[in-house]
Structure 1
Amino acid sequence: MDTQQNTALTRALAEVPGPLPTSGVIHITLPHTDRFTVVGNHLTQHPDLSCTAVGIAVRIQSLPQGAKVGIKALAARCKEGEKRIAAALRELEAHGYLRRVRDRLPSGRIITRTVFCNRPAALLHHRRPAEAPPQPAKPEPTPAPAPVPATVQERAPAQEPAPVPVCLPMAASTAPEVPVDPPAPQPTQPQVSLPVPPSPAPLFVPRVPPPTAPKAPRRPLPQPSELTPDLDRAATAFLGDLHRHAPQFFLSEDDVRRLVPGVAAWLERAARPDAIRRALTDDPPQPLKHPAKLLAHRLTELLPPAPPGADALAALDRPRPRFTVTPFQTCEDCDRAFRSPTPGHCRDCRETRAAYAQAAA
Structure 2
Amino acid sequence: MDTQHNTALTRALAEVPGPLPTSGVIHITLPHTDRFTVVGNHLAQHPDLSCTAVGIAVRIQSLPQGAKVGIKALAARCREGEKRIAAALRELEAHGYLRRVRDRLPSGRIITRTVFCNRPTALLHPRRPAEGPPQPAKPEPAPTPVPAPMQQPAPVPAPAPMQEPAPVPVCIPTAAPPAPEVPVAPPAPSAPLFVPRVPPPTAPKAPRRPLPQPSELTPELDRAATAFLSDLHRHAPQVTLSEDDVRRLVPGVAAWLERAARPDAIRRALTDDPPQPLKHPAKLLTYRLTELLPPAPPGVDDLATLDRPRPRFTVTPFQTCEDCDRAFRSPAPGHCRDCRETRAAYAQAAA
Q: TM-score scaled to structure 1, two decimals? A: 0.43
| 8 Å contact kept, 2:94–2:197 | no
Q: Which moved more, 1:138-147 or 1:273-282?
A: 138-147
| Aligned match of 1:327 | 317
1:315 is matched with: 305
Q: 1:208 to 1:155 in 2, by over 3 A?
A: farther
Shift of 1:234: 1.4
Shift of residue 292, structure 1, vs aligned partner: 2.2
Residues 237 and 329 of structure 1: is their aligned pair in 2 closer, same or farther, counting only changes over 3 Å? same
Unmatched tracts of structure 2, length 5 or more? none
Instruction: Determine if contact 1:97/1:116 at 8 Å carries over to the other structure.
Output: yes
Q: Report deviation, 1:282.
A: 0.7
Per the TM alignment, residue 51 of structure 1 is displaced from its structure 2 partner at its CA by: 14
Does the CA-based 8 Å contact 1:121-1:202 persist in structure 2? no
CA distance, structure 2, for counterparts of residue 180 and residue 9 of structure 1: 59
- Cα RMSD (Å) of the superposition? 20.2
User: Is this contact kept in 2: 1:330–1:345, CA < 8 A?
Assistant: yes
User: Shift of the alpha carbon at 1:248?
Assistant: 2.3
Shift, 1:331, TM fit: 1.9
2:149 counterpart (143, 147, 165): 147
Moved more, 28-37 or 56-65: 28-37
Alignment check: 8 A CA contact 2:238 2:278 kept: yes
Mean Cα deviation higher: 315-324 or 249-258: 315-324
Report the number of matched residues: 347
Alpha-carbon shift at residue 260 of structure 1 (Å)? 0.9
Structure 1 residue 259 displacement after superposition: 1.4
CA distance in 1, matches of 2:111, 2:298: 88
Partner-residue secondary structure (3-state), 1:154? coil
> What CA deviation, in whole Å up to 9, does each residue of 1:207-262 have, x standing for no partner?
99999997654433222121011211211121122122212222233322221111
Deviation at 1:303, TM superposition (A): 2.2
Tell me which moved more, 316-325 or 296-305.
316-325
User: For each residue in 1:312-338, what CA deviation from the matched residue of structure 2 results, as whole angstroms up to 9, or x when unmatched?
Assistant: 455555555444322111122333222
Q: Tell me if the contact between 2:96 and 2:196 (Cα under 8 Å) persists in the aligned partners.
A: no
For the residue of structure 2 that corresponds to 1:111, the secondary structure is strand
> 2 CA distance for matches of 1:18 and 1:236?
74
Cα 1:158–1:287 change in 2 (3 A) is farther
Match of 2:285 in 1: 295
Going from structure 1 to structure 2, the CA distance change for 1:2 and 1:205 (only over 3 Å counts) comes to farther
Classify the secondary structure of the residue corresponding to 2:346.
helix
Contact 2:245 2:282 in 1 (8 A): yes
Structure 2 CA distance for aligned equivalents of residues 126 and 290 of structure 1: 41
Q: Is the 8 A contact 1:338 1:346 kept in 2?
A: yes
| Shift in alpha-carbon separation, 1:8–1:279, aligned structure 2, 3 A | farther
Greater mean alpha carbon deviation, residues 43-52 or residues 202-211: 43-52
8 Å contact kept, 1:235–1:264 = yes
1:262 to 1:335, Cα distance in 2 relative to 1, 3 A: same
**Matches of 1:239 and 1:259, distance apart in 2:** 8
Contact 1:236 1:256 in 2 (8 A): yes
CA–CA distance in structure 1, aligned partners of residues 130 and 182 of structure 2: 57
How many Å separate the matches in 1 of 2:20 and 2:264? 32
Q: Flag the 1:155–1:36 CA change in 2: closer, same or farther, 3 A.
A: farther
Query: CA shift at 1:281, angstroms?
Result: 0.8
CA contact (8 A) 1:156 1:162 kept: no
Distance change (3 Å), C-alpha of 1:354 and 1:236 = same
Q: Is 1:158 the equivalent of 2:148?
A: no
Q: Cα–Cα, structure 1 residues 90 and 359, in superposed 2: closer, same or farther, change >3 Å?
A: same
CA distance in 1, matches of 2:11, 2:232: 36
CA distance in 2, matches of 1:6, 1:35: 26
- Secondary structure at the residue paired with 1:151? coil
What corresponds to 1:204 in structure 2? 194
CA, structure 1 residues 154+130, in 2 after alignment: closer, same or farther (shift >3 Å)? farther
Once residues 179 and 215 of structure 1 are traced to their aligned partners in structure 2, the CA distance between those partners, rounded to angstroms, is: 41
TM-score (norm 2): 0.44
Is the 1:266–1:304 Cα contact (8 Å) retained in structure 2?
yes
Shift of 1:26: 30
Mean CA deviation greater in 345-354 or 36-45: 36-45
Distance 1:295 1:119, change over 3 A: closer
